[in-house]
A and B are shown apart, each in its own frame.
Chain A
Amino acid sequence: MNLDPKIPSGPLESKWSTYLRDVKLVSPNNKRKYKIIVVGTGLAGASAAASLAELGYNVLTFCIQDSARRAHSIAAQGGINAAKNYQNDGDSVWRLFYDTIKGGDYRSREANVYRLAENSNHIIDQAVAQGVPFGREYGGLLDNRSFGGAQVSRTFYSRGQTGQQLLLGAYQAMMKEVHSGKIQDFPRQEMLDLVIIDGKARGIITRNLVTGEIQKWEADAVVLCTGGYGNVFYLSTNAKNSNATAAWRCHKRGAVFANPCFVQIHPTCIPVSGDYQSKLTLMSESLRNDGRVWVPRNKGDKRPPNEIPEDERYYYLEERYPSFGNLVPRDVASRSAKLVTDEGLGVGETGLAVYLDFRDAIKRDSREVIEAKYGNLFDMYQNITDENPYEIPMRIFPAVHYTMGGLWVDYDLMSNIPGLFVAGEANYSDHGANRLGASALMQGLSDGYFIIPYTIGDYFAREKLEKISTGHEAFSEAADSVSKLLDKLLVIKGDKTIIEFHRELGKIMWDKVGISRSKEGLESAIVEIRKLRDEFWQNVRVPGDKNYYNKYLEFAFRVADYFELAELMAIDALDRNESCGCHLRDEYQTAEGEAIRNDKDYAFVSAYEFLGVNGKLETKLHKESLNFEFVELKQRSYK
């Protein structure tokens, strides 16, 4: 298989402008003749759909929720990066590019990341023009805040609801085009398969989630914007409907899956409180600016935190990383929390938590100052845990948050299946082995507003697309296979619920394919996943039937796919004999527990081809090597 990233030649700064100069165009008259399916209406999907419709294409949009506005992007809190340099603190496109490449631990493509940084400024312009209410200074101009992994202040924000405001902007742009008749919007429709004709993506199969009807949709191209797969772990900060099915179904139809093992685990989330727990809530990482992280020095110290004297507190981040202290990057903070809880020093009823203490900050700055900075976060914490963080230290623990891996795409954001484009968290493109804060929103909108609209036109101008209809046998084959799978799930009528299986799978993944990984652990995870998958297909109980609204049937289908993806994640983690970004292999670390990257053997994107599932997942690894022409590879150090 030839995985050509199709990166334009020339200096980094002019690759995208060269591309735009040479890009083939479709005339306005002809645009009207093309139909494009956009699956997913998060930041990537809504922005792509609106922009494509404005150009004159006919667009169909699909999402799982009852409204396009409810996509998971709505929950993003902190902000979005851009290289505006409004603070005059030395920011530039180059610096944003550099921070993102370095933050990703040198496992992403230079050309893609540079283009992302270039587009960042246009995103802010676009959002402001749409009426997105970003935070402003007294003078009426835009304000910025600082975020991890950068020494400049470049993050634009709408209080703690940046994702909501950006998504509403994109959703409204999309509704404007629904009004103009260029977009037909289909909420509560889940894509369950991709249809390929003559080697090109030509349509999708959906299940109407209200009536259960299996429907066929044909088009000239399909843009997949279906988000990340963090919910493989059962518990994560992702919305309950976030899932991997669309991407996985494309993978099974031939799309190559890249870097599946790169999963970001966010250090500051509210810990699990019991086995009924259904999802985890993120607490903004800005809290680490003032909170001090600690655990009791002595194992089994069950005293309330405020009764533990200073010399019996282990401020492990400050001790281990004196120069960055509590502000080490996400992966380092998460890993350290796991280390101390593994040693038995964890706190709370489950022992799976550490303290984040504001006592000293309140003493230093007063309660009012801390309240002004973090009041809403403290309220949120108190609402969930019923504890007052002004008086008792918060309990926090890492949680699965974001997946850097995803479907492989070239510079055009097209997968190896012609006509299948992938945008947003669903592709693997820009974040390497670790994503910096406030850069996912930027990437989703860069993909949707400013990349796909050009690259899809180039595809249409180059390819001759035969006229097809949903009467083609490829559609009935795909629709039948979906129906059969639904039936297969429904007839098992076993003893264990879907959630029980999913929770068990999540536990294997968290313990062995989570914060730290070892050869031994990964090998046993693979065996356990296979065993549990077999049991799932024999003993799962899916309630009800397929011809009406049935949320649990939706989940069953998704969990069936997680069982296969999970194995691929473990295989990839096992293959990558190095530690980089969020991927820490126990065998590849220094005596002090620092990651050892191996650029000689692993500076590549792992790209898997699906061969089949037969008791075990059959897969073939391809490698896209990463060539660093413009930056020098360095070992990260936060000591």
Chain B
Amino acid sequence: MSDMTINLKIWRQKNTNDSGHFEDYILAGVNEHMSFLEMLDVLNEKLIKEGNDPVEFDYDCREGICGSCNMVINGKAHGPKHKTAACQLHMRTYSDGDTIVIEPPRAGAFPVIKDLVVDRTALDRIIEAGGYISVKTGAAPEANLIPVEQDVSNQAFDYATCIGCGACVAACPNSSASLFTASKLSHLNRLPQGRPERSKRTIAMVEQMEKEGFGDCSNYAECEAVCPVGISISSIAEMRREYMKAIF
């Protein structure tokens, strides 16, 4: 396949206080095997050579595991492919002449730092509130003294794979962080090791989520649709039940 020319419409914002705007770029020579982020690298090389400021975006692993990338592509967090992070997307998904709109994940709790880079430390503060099992180094019993049913362990694993990207927040009309918070609760609360702190953890994390300015969940399920690792929305129902139980 020959190279493509892609029309890009990218959100540019100097800093948190700047109001920001879209800018148009035409990028020729895009190869179908390039990853989406490599396409942006190529754009940036061009901008730098022309003496312009490159587009800032977050990334690290470029293989869908670190959760750094989270841009919104044509209105969808992480872009069009199901269970695929933005960094795992390839340009073969697009055709010559396509227009691609790229924005930061927008939420009140995620202030823009520059261009597509946002501040997601609110998610860390939710974990800080109680997203752990309180065991000190050295205090652990021999590992096989805590048998865990294989099903339970597998379910816990599925919830534990959340990469903390915040796409669920960006996709939610209420900017809720429910899927993120619930995935951690569903991971830890169902394990025998996590039982003792179950109520305390649930209350602390849910309340921190509210404090950070994330909205409520109204069951739109947009979060599940964009989640790059397929965290199930059933975790949110679990979180609600657990929370009600804990506060009464």
Known A136-B150, A239-B60: A552·B156 in contact at CB below 8 Å = no
Scan A108-146; emit 1 where CB is below 8 A from any B CB, else 0.
000000000000001011111111011111111110000
Cα A126 to Cα B52 with chains together (Å): 50
Give chain B residues whose Cβ lies under 8 Å from the Cβ of A239.
60-62, 66
Q: Does chain B have a CB within 8 A of A240? A: yes
Distance in angstroms from A396 CB to nearest chain B CB is: 16
Which residue of the partner chain B has the closest CB to A70? B66
Known A122-B140, A165-B160: A137·B128 in contact at CB below 8 Å = no
Scan A217-252; emit 1 where CB is below 8 A from any B CB, else 0.
000000000000000000000011100000000000
Give chain A residues whose Cβ lies under 8 Å from the Cβ of B32.
386
The one of A142, A500, A552 that contacts B143, using a Cβ cutoff of 8 Å: A142
Scan B201-221; emit 1 where CB is below 8 A from any A CB, else 0.
000000000000000000000
The one of B42, B133, B148, B164 that contacts A136, using a Cβ cutoff of 8 Å: B148
Give chain B residues whose Cβ lies under 8 Å from the Cβ of A210.
113, 119
Cα A126 to Cα B191 with chains together (Å): 15
Instruction: Please tell me if the beta carbons of A54 and B193 are within 8 angstroms of each other in the complex.
Output: no
Q: Does chain A have a CB within 8 A of B187? A: yes
Instruction: Please tell me if the beta carbons of B137 and A172 are within 8 angstroms of each other in the complex.
Output: no
Q: Does chain A have a CB within 8 A of B96? A: no
Q: Does chain B have a CB within 8 A of A537? A: no
Instruction: Please tell me if the beta carbons of B68 and A386 are within 8 angstroms of each other in the complex.
Output: no
Which of chain A's residues 343-395 have a Cβ closer than 8 Å to chain B?
A: 383-386
Cα A44 to Cα B61 with chains together (Å): 18
Cα A129 to Cα B47 with chains together (Å): 50
Q: Does chain A have a CB within 8 A of B59? A: yes
Instruction: Please tell me if the beta carbons of A138 and B193 are within 8 angstroms of each other in the complex.
Output: no
Which residue of the partner chain A has the closest CB to B143? A128
Which residue of the partner chain B has the closest CB to A48? B137
Which of chain B's residues 25-49 have a Cβ closer than 8 Å to chain A?
A: 31-35, 37-39, 41-42, 44-45, 47-49
Give chain B residues whose Cβ lies under 8 Å from the Cβ of A50.
137
Known A175-B131, A210-B113: A544·B53 in contact at CB below 8 Å = yes
Interface residues on A, range: 35 or more
Cα A638 to Cα B38 with chains together (Å): 40
Which residue of the partner chain B has the closest CB to A165? B160
Distance in angstroms from B193 CB to nearest chain A CB is: 5
Q: Does chain A have a CB within 8 A of B117? A: yes
Distance in angstroms from A636 CB to nearest chain B CB is: 32
Cα A448 to Cα B140 with chains together (Å): 16
Interface residues on B, range: 35 or more
Q: Does chain B have a CB within 8 A of A279? A: yes
Give chain B residues whose Cβ lies under 8 Å from the Cβ of A164.
65, 161, 163
Instruction: Please tell me if the beta carbons of B144 and A141 are within 8 angstroms of each other in the complex.
Output: yes
Q: Does chain B have a CB within 8 A of A67? A: yes
Give chain A residues whose Cβ lies under 8 Å from the Cβ of B63.
75, 281
Instruction: Please tell me if the beta carbons of B60 and A131 are within 8 angstroms of each other in the complex.
Output: no
Cα A632 to Cα B27 with chains together (Å): 61
Known A128-B193, A142-B144, A551-B56: A54·B136 in contact at CB below 8 Å = yes
Q: Does chain A have a CB within 8 A of B15? A: yes
Cα A126 to Cα B60 with chains together (Å): 28
Cα A78 to Cα B112 with chains together (Å): 36
Q: Does chain A have a CB within 8 A of B90? A: yes
Distance in angstroms from A87 CB to nearest chain B CB is: 12
Instruction: Please tell me if the beta carbons of A175 and B124 are within 8 angstroms of each other in the complex.
Output: yes
Q: Does chain A have a CB within 8 A of B120? A: yes
Give chain B residues whose Cβ lies under 8 Å from the Cβ of A583.
none
Instruction: Please tell me if the beta carbons of A552 and B48 are within 8 angstroms of each other in the complex.
Output: yes
Q: Does chain B have a CB within 8 A of A68? A: yes
Instruction: Please tell me if the beta carbons of A65 and B53 are within 8 angstroms of each other in the complex.
Output: no
Q: Does chain B have a CB within 8 A of A51? A: yes
Known A128-B143, A129-B141, A131-B133: A276·B54 in contact at CB below 8 Å = no
Q: Does chain B have a CB within 8 A of A187? A: yes
Q: Does chain B have a CB within 8 A of A571? A: no
Distance in angstroms from A619 CB to nearest chain B CB is: 31
Q: Does chain B have a CB within 8 A of A9? A: no
Scan A18-52; emit 1 where CB is below 8 A from any B CB, else 0.
00000000000000000000000000000100110
Give chain B residues whose Cβ lies under 8 Å from the Cβ of A241.
60
Instruction: Please tell me if the beta carbons of B41 and A276 are within 8 angstroms of each other in the complex.
Output: yes
Q: Does chain B have a CB within 8 A of A179? A: yes
Instruction: Please tell me if the beta carbons of A159 and B42 are within 8 angstroms of each other in the complex.
Output: no
The one of A385, A495, A549 that contacts B117, using a Cβ cutoff of 8 Å: A549
The one of A141, A158, A240 that contacts B157, using a Cβ cutoff of 8 Å: A158
Instruction: Please tell me if the beta carbons of A240 and B60 are within 8 angstroms of each other in the complex.
Output: yes
Distance in angstroms from B39 CB to nearest chain A CB is: 8
Instruction: Please tell me if the beta carbons of B37 and A278 are within 8 angstroms of each other in the complex.
Output: yes
Give chain B residues whose Cβ lies under 8 Å from the Cβ of A54.
136-137
Give chain B residues whose Cβ lies under 8 Å from the Cβ of A75.
61, 63, 65-66
Distance in angstroms from B81 CB to nearest chain A CB is: 9
Q: Does chain B have a CB within 8 A of A517? A: no
Which of chain A's residues 50-80 have a Cβ closer than 8 Å to chain B?
A: 50-51, 54, 65-70, 72, 74-75
Q: Does chain B have a CB within 8 A of A97? A: no
Q: Does chain B have a CB within 8 A of A431? A: no
Residue with the highest number of chain B CB atoms closer than 10 Å, among A70, A86, A131, A173? A131
Instruction: Please tell me if the beta carbons of A497 and B131 are within 8 angstroms of each other in the complex.
Output: no
Which residue of the partner chain A has the closest CB to B155? A133
Known A67-B120, A129-B193, A276-B31: A384·B140 in contact at CB below 8 Å = no
Q: Does chain A have a CB within 8 A of B139? A: yes
Q: List 22 A-B contacts (CB under 8 A).
A: A66-B68, A66-B120, A66-B121, A70-B68, A74-B65, A75-B63, A126-B137, A128-B140, A129-B146, A131-B191, A133-B156, A136-B148, A136-B150, A140-B150, A158-B157, A171-B127, A274-B34, A383-B90, A384-B90, A450-B137, A551-B54, A552-B54
Ordered nearest first, which 9 A-B pairs have the shortest CB separation?
A140-B147, A129-B140, A172-B132, A133-B157, A51-B137, A125-B140, A128-B143, A549-B114, A129-B135
For the A-B complex with A66-B119, A165-B157, A175-B131 known, give 5 more contacts whose Cβ atoms are closer than 8 Å: A72-B60, A122-B138, A168-B160, A176-B134, A549-B56
